[in-house]
Structure formats: C-alpha cells, structure tokens
Amino acid sequence: MPSQIWHSSEPLLSAVSSVCASWVNSFGCHFMQAVAVHQQLIDRFPNEPGVRNELAITYLLQNLLSDAKLVLQKVLRRWPKDGFAQVHYGFVLRQLDRDYKNAVTYLREGINSQASGTQDGRFYFNLGDCLQRLGRQAEAVEVYKRGAALKLFPSAYQRSLYNEPNLRAQPYWTKAETTYATYLNKLELNWRVIRDEALSLLGRRDNFLDEAESLRDTGNWQQFELYSRGQQRFKNCQKAPITCGMIEKFTAASGCRRGQVKFSVMQAGTHVHAHCGPTNCRLRAHLGLVVPKGTHLRVAEEERTWTEGEFLIFDDSFEHEVWHNGTSFRLVLIVDVWHPDLSVHQRRTLSAI
C-alpha cells in the first residue's frame, strides 16, 4: 500500500512534532531531521507512547516498514494494550511479513480498543483481507459489514478507500453505460493487431514483470505497463506503438491518473485472492486477446468470463477474484478509465493513485 496514505490520526504533543510531520510530507527531504526531532521528544516524554507512535508513522510515511516495526514492538512491549500501536503493528505484519495470523490478532484488538486513530478503513480493510487469506470468510464478512456500517468504505463489497461521493456503483458495466463506447469499439475492431503486438512482447525476455501487490495466491501473473497514473511509459510504448497510438487518443484512459493501461498475462493454475481496487473513481475494462477455457472472474456475487475481441468491464473497487483453471495462458489488455460521473474539474484535480 502506498506510503502516501499514512498520516497520524493521533494529536501531536507539541508544535515541534507538527513541524516534524511537515518535514516528512515534503517528499522526505528532511527525513533525518524529522527522526532526530522524534528522538528528542521520546527522550523528553519517556512515559508517553504517543511520541513513539509518531516516530513509527514517520517511518511508515517513508515506506520504511522494518523501522516502523521495531518502534512499534518497543511500544507494545511496554504498553501492550495501546490500540494505536496495535493496529499499525498489525498492518506492518500483514504488509511486511505476510504474517496474517498474528496480524489478525493485533488489528482486531486495536480496532476493538476504540482508541483514537483506530477507526480507519485501512485497518478494517486489512483485517478482513487477512481473515480471507486464512480461509475465515465468515469472520471477514462481518468485519467488512462493520466497516461499511461505520461508513469507512462504501459497502461490504465495495471497499475502496479513495472515493468521491455520489458516483454510480455497480459491479459490471456495459460499453454504453461507460459513455466511452466509440473508443472501446475502436479497440475491439483492432483487437487482433493489439493481440499480435502483445504476443510479440510476450516472446521477449524480461518485458513482462510479476504482479507486485501480493494479490496472487497460486500460479504466475505478469504485466506490461503502457500508461500509469495518467503518464505514458514511453519506452514500453515504443515497443507497442499501435496500441499506445490508439490509447493516446482515448483521453479518459491515457489521462486517468487513478488507473493504468497494461497487458496482463496469466498462466494456467493461477488464483488471484479476492481484493478491491483503491478508488471508486475509475472503471476497469479488459479486452480479451487470448482466452482459453477455464478462466473466471467474480465481481461481488457474479461470475463471468472473457471473450476474445470483446471488452469485459467492471468496477474494480468492488471485491473481485480470478481463477485460471485452463491449460494455456490468458492474455488481456487492461484499460482503466475515469468514472463517467466525474466532472471535468474532478478529473483535472484528483490526486494520482
């Protein structure tokens, strides 16, 4: 999970600590000074866990999970019931160590403490995810329902954390509903050319990279990125000029700062954990390029499959899961587009994800 989501939900003890937080948010350029100030505060307030927790948050802001873990361990050795430390330690155990069992313990105890900073969608999201990966689906559903009831995310199935209000929310979409049918139809008409371009890339070593978000349960799943966060991946587009040429004219995709455009190849025997995308501000369109039998996508409660030469469009902020039980690879072009209900102003000003 990106470090940019981290901020302290607990009041700082002094103006010095506020300055420290501002340093960290200035792209880390004064990170070492910030850590030094935190250490001074810890020396001055040795019996206050909050100042130590703030140091852990500073490390999390820099994506230094191992350092945050050490700080939180020290807090919990001395204050084992500190709810703020518990939820953040549980988060680190899940992200850094993939220790789902112990992460559940700390996340649950921290959430149940009701301490300041613990009632955050990130912690309900991660607790439910850990429970699902441990096969404890019924418990995960209850966590998600509780988070939705607290309005920490839109619903038990739609658990995105970076959201805009009043956007239509449905698991699957048609081309007409997206308002982008003209561009999607053009891509469909050229699907064989796009497929051949993707296959030529697939035949070259090191083009496709492993999925990097730990969503894969079994098998092999790789991607070749063309656009990310509204920016063209120039070197990659040089290798796929026809596809990128069409996408460049499709500004709802090429300029979508909360999405990607990429080729995705999944080998037989792959299962992708149930998960949710980060935002309700985009829709995800899959153009089937090579689709063997035995591939399935579940979004919320409905399963579908891909068809070569056609788009399968869904809202990936809803829980979705993939199974590939076929015998050969599945290849699709993933095209993220702005949600059609967003205004021009929102599209111009929403932060990138």
| Confidence at residue 214, expressed as pLDDT on a 0 to 100 scale | 86
Residue 97 lies in a domain: yes
The verdict on residue 165 lying in a domain is: no
Question: Is residue 116 located within the same domain as residue 227?
Answer: no
pLDDT in tens, 106-155: 999 999 999 999 999 999 999 999 999 999 999 999 999 999 999 999 99
Report the pLDDT value the prediction gives residue 350, as an integer from 0 to 100.
97
pLDDT of amino acid 12: 33
Domain that holds residue 287: 172-349
User: Which of 188, 223, 220 shows the shortest CA–CA distance to 202?
Assistant: 223
Domain of 94: which CATH number?
Answer: 1.25.40.10
- The dihedral built from the CA positions of residue 17, 119, 352 and 164, taken in this order, carries a sign that is negative
Domain final residue pick, 115, 150, 185:
150
The rounded distance, in Å, linking the Cα atoms of 316 and 40 is 44
Domain finish residue from 118, 150, 182 = 150
- Whether 122 and 204 map to the same domain: the answer is no
CATH classification at residue 294: 2.60.120.330
> Looking at the domain assignment, is residue 22 inside a domain?
yes
pLDDT at 210: 94
Q: CA 171, 172, 177: angle at the middle one, nearest 5?
A: 120
Predicted pLDDT of residue 19 = 41
User: Does the residue 164 lie in any domain?
Assistant: no
Task: Give yes or no: residues 197 and 89 share one domain.
Answer: no
Determine the length of the chain.
Answer: 353
Number of domains observed in the structure of the chain? 2
pLDDT digits (tens, 9 = 90+) for 48-85: 999 999 999 999 999 999 999 999 999 999 999 999 99
Residues 133 and 251 in one domain: no
Q: Does 192 lie in the same domain as 74? A: no
- Assess whether 145 and 185 both reside in one domain: no
- Residue labelled with tokens 């698991």: 171
Q: Indicate if 178 and 326 belong to the same structural domain.
A: yes
Domain boundary among 150, 183, 205: 150
Residues of the chain with pLDDT under 70: 1-29
Exposure on the CB side of residue 99, measured as CA atoms within 13 A = 13
Residue 287 pLDDT: 98
Q: Is residue 234 part of a domain?
A: yes
3, part of any domain: no
Biggest distance spanned by C-alpha atoms of the chain: 68
Model pLDDT, residue 21: 47
The tokens for 336 are 């993220």
